[in-house]
Structure 1
Amino acid sequence: MLRVLILSTLFPDASRPNFGIFVERQTRSLVERGDVEVRIVAPRGLPPGPLARLPRYAALAALPEREDWHGLTVHRPRFVNLPGTGGRFHARAMVAALTPLLAEIRKDFAFDVISAEFFFPDGPAAVALGRRFGVPVSIKARGSDIHDWGRRPATSAQVIAAGQAANGVLAVSEAMRQDMITMGIPGDKIETITTGVDLTRFAPRDRAAAKAALGVAGPLIVSLGALIPLKGHDIVIDAVATLPGVQLWIAGEGGDRKRLEAQIARLGLGDRVKLLGSVPPDRVAAALAAADAMALASEREGLANAWLEALASGTPVVIPDVGGARQVVTAPAAGRIVARTPAAFAAALGEIISDAPAAAAARAVAEPFTWAANSASLQGFLSRLVRP
């Protein structure tokens, strides 16, 4: 029996049910293998004292310290997040908060390995905790966790040192693995394990009927991603502005909402572009099945779950050449890899709308990316760290 302690600041909770939902799905798939046990530690970074009662932190502060999250045991300890410090003290604060908790957990769950599911601050903290408890450590790089935190002056040295010290490191795409090697993380300890997709939830439907069920007439583009500049929603909005009669639905929430709302109003697109906010997975699946294409103009990605969810739904993608894009868009039916400009996105979307690939052909591209394959590779990787 392999006992895995999952350490992840990226994990769903009652206030953010879609936050890190892919980490939850990966964990469930690992448990479903039958010879793996897990405990999940999902730390919450909160400012000290009365600052934690500010509205922006209230929902996070109100979460229980421990709960049964849909059948999974999840611990949600607090660690001190000092505003204005650029994250430089996050990992140290996390270690201080988690050391007594992990000592308590080990009394009835003698974990064999710590699997950090986000590179910062989880990775540096996991390395320190692994040394303290005498267990190997794996750190997974997903995207901005390595590309952003790994380049910030306050945290880059911690990120690279953690990658060098970890027993094993995971990347979600080959492109990300190469980026990590360039940063100074030894390539011989990095393994690429791509994400999975729920092929039951995300599946083709009759597109006309799916559109009718959503009250949509005419071409529909869907975009999935947090409302942050990194995701490039403004580029897709500008592209759709040049495509008469095309609607755009953007599912996600974040700090860029007001700027995007102003852009939509300025372009007179209020009747064609909708910001849906945070959307449950079943509604995302319905929208993707109705869409003619999924467009996401990210500046950086690892290998986005949104790409695979769209393809599994029979819907082609239009994306820039970032991260694992070339591992996913491997055939014309999968969509287009384009320059990160409104004109390039508009041209590709126009082509797909006028000459749509068969849904079955698009789905075939996603079918190898199963959660079963993901968890089998992950179990093997973690087992090798425990028993080299």
Structure 2
Amino acid sequence: MTRPLRILTLSTLFPHAGAANFGIFVERQTAELNRRAEADVTVINPVGLPPWPLSKLSRYRDMVGLATHELWNGLRLFRPRFPLIPGMSGKSNPDRIYRAILPLVRQLHEENPFELIDAEFFYPDGPVAMRLSEQLDIPFSIKARGADIHHWGNQPGCQDQILAAADKAAGLLAVSCALKQDMIDLGMIGDRITVHYTGVDQSQFQPVNREKMKAEMGIAGPLLICTGALIPRKNQALIIKAMTAFPNARLILAGSGPEETNYRRLADRLGVAGQVQFMGNVPHQKLAALTAAADIAVLVSRSEGLANAWVEALACGTPIVISAAGGAKELLANPDAGRIVEENPDAIAEAIRSILASPPDQQAVRDTVSGFSWESNGDQLLAHFQRIDSDGRIGN
């Protein structure tokens, strides 16, 4: 039997007990890969903590007590700490992370040598993987997911690090063709970038009897859902404004973030506070039920790679109203599955009104993402890593 490929997965986003959805797409992808006999994965999830007393802030409180080593969904997981200066350390984070985790990586590599490093985000993970690769003398691959290119790729002091890592990487991944083009526009070589679509748990995210589910929730009118962190880039303010056109509708905001206070004030000022439900971070199983119960999922981000929430909604048979960000046009080729709209409340409201007037068949919507699964995602990822292990470098 062939010996499994020893992979070190580096990811600055990964779920933990206090935030079970935090980077859950990385966990699902990595767990799927690790279930295969051909791969043996160790995960390092660097945890950034500011100095005391900033470490006592609510956003860091859950992370302070995290175990530094645990078994998570079958994955061997390490959470080394690195010093973080909130709002000020963006360009220096790769160096801080590298210095903090290098002793652990060396120790693990001496015990059972790694053969490949898998960086799950282009920034800050990519530059860290590049330096670890030099230390261990093994190849590395980097995956681009969206904001790591759209935001960090345009930040002073960060773009050069991203391009240097891209140049030295043995392989590059992008979650959509649109993101691949953005990487090329940034200065990367297109022949070296492989498109690697996300997965979805088709058994968990599936259609339900929507009217029955809404009745059990005490909802009589239309139900809308928006899943994502409450941050400006996700554009929830536009959806709240669009709610003024639907006085009998309910909007669920599934996610938390720094804009929550502002969004609550906006909803109150517009007179729709009673229609907007802030649910915070929702466990994934409950999120599947809420998404399936919704008449429409509205996710009009300023930028995306290819949002998992888009795919999960479609798998539930729930049509989507999304912006033209990232891989929107790749995913939403069938107009029955939703609408791509401009980023303004009137366009969002018109799309919602159109779908409510003629709801699409749930199974027809689900069929548009029938090819998305974690199994397929794992097959493609393993093949990508095996090509690197065999050839040393993808593309020229």
Aligned runs of 1:1-388 on 2, under 5 Å?
1-48=4-51, 51-388=54-391
Between the aligned partners of 1:25 and 1:196, the Cα distance in structure 2 is 8
Three-state SS of the structure 2 residue aligned to 1:37 is strand
Give the gaps of 5 or more residues in structure 1.
Answer: none
TM-score (norm 1): 0.97
How far apart are residue 47 of structure 1 and its match?
2.3
Kindly state the Cα deviation for residue 84 of structure 1 after the two structures are TM-superposed.
4.9
- Match of 1:103, SS state, is helix
Moved more, 3-12 or 24-33: 24-33
Deviation of the 1:154 alpha carbon:
3.0
Aligned counterparts of 1:53 and 1:238: Cα–Cα separation in 2: 35
Q: Kindly state the Cα deviation for residue 4 of structure 1 after the two structures are TM-superposed.
A: 1.2
1:291 partner amino acid: A
Structure 1 position 129, deviation (Å) = 0.2
Distance in 2 of aligned mates of 1:114 and 1:155: 21
Contact 2:224 2:297 in 1 (8 A): yes
Q: Report how far residue 71 of structure 1 moved.
A: 2.4
Matches of 2:288 and 2:198 in 1, distance apart? Answer: 17
Is contact 1:328-1:334 (8 Å) kept? Answer: no
**Equivalent position amino acid for 2:284 in 1:** P
Amino acid at match of 1:34: A
Alpha-carbon contact 2:48-2:83 (below 8 Å) kept: yes
Hey, what's the Cα distance between the residues in 2 that align with 1:64 and 1:354? Answer: 51
CA separation in 2, counterparts of 1:88 and 1:251?
30
Contact 2:31/2:73 (<8 A) preserved: no
TM-score scaled by length of structure 2: 0.95
* Structure-1 separation of matches of 2:234 and 2:367: 26
Q: In structure 2, what is the Cα distance between the partners aligned to 1:347 and 1:56?
A: 37
Q: Deviations over 1:298-339 (max 9, x none)?
A: 000000000000000000100011100011101022100111
Residue 394 (structure 2) aligns with? none
Q: In the alignment, is the contact (CA less than 8 A) between 1:86 and 1:154 conserved in 2?
A: no
Gap regions ≥5 residues in structure 2: 392-396
**Contact 1:42/1:76 (8 A) holds in 2:** yes
Deviation per CA, 1:52-81, whole angstroms, max 9, x where unpaired? 344442321211111112322110001122
Q: Deviations over 1:4-53 (max 9, x none)?
A: 11100010011211100000000111122222110000001122465434
Shift of 1:244: 2.7
SS in 2 for 1:343: helix
Q: Do the aligned residues in 1 keep the contact of 2:115 with 2:138 (CA within 8 Å)? A: yes
Across the aligned residues of Structure 1 and Structure 2, the Cα RMSD in angstroms comes to 1.3
Contact 2:42 2:76 in 1 (8 A): yes
Structure 2: distance between partners of 1:152 and 1:335: 33
Amino acid at match of 2:362: A
State the shift of 1:83 in Å. Answer: 3.9
Deviation at 1:213, TM superposition (A): 2.3
Kindly indicate whether the alpha-carbon contact (under 8 Å) linking 2:44 and 2:79 is maintained by their aligned counterparts in 1: yes
- Deviation, 1:88, is 1.6
CA gap of 1:312–1:87, structure 2 versus 1, over 3 A, is same
Q: Structure 1 counterpart of 2:30, which letter? A: T
Q: Which amino acid in structure 1 is aligned with residue 37 of structure 2?
A: G
User: Quick one: structure 1 residues 221 and 56, their matched pair in 2 at CA, closer, same or farther if it must change by over 3 Å?
Assistant: closer
Residues 83-136 of structure 1, C-alpha deviations (whole Å, 9 max, x = no match):
453412111111111211111112333221110101111110001101110111
28-37 or 179-188, which moves further after superposition? 28-37
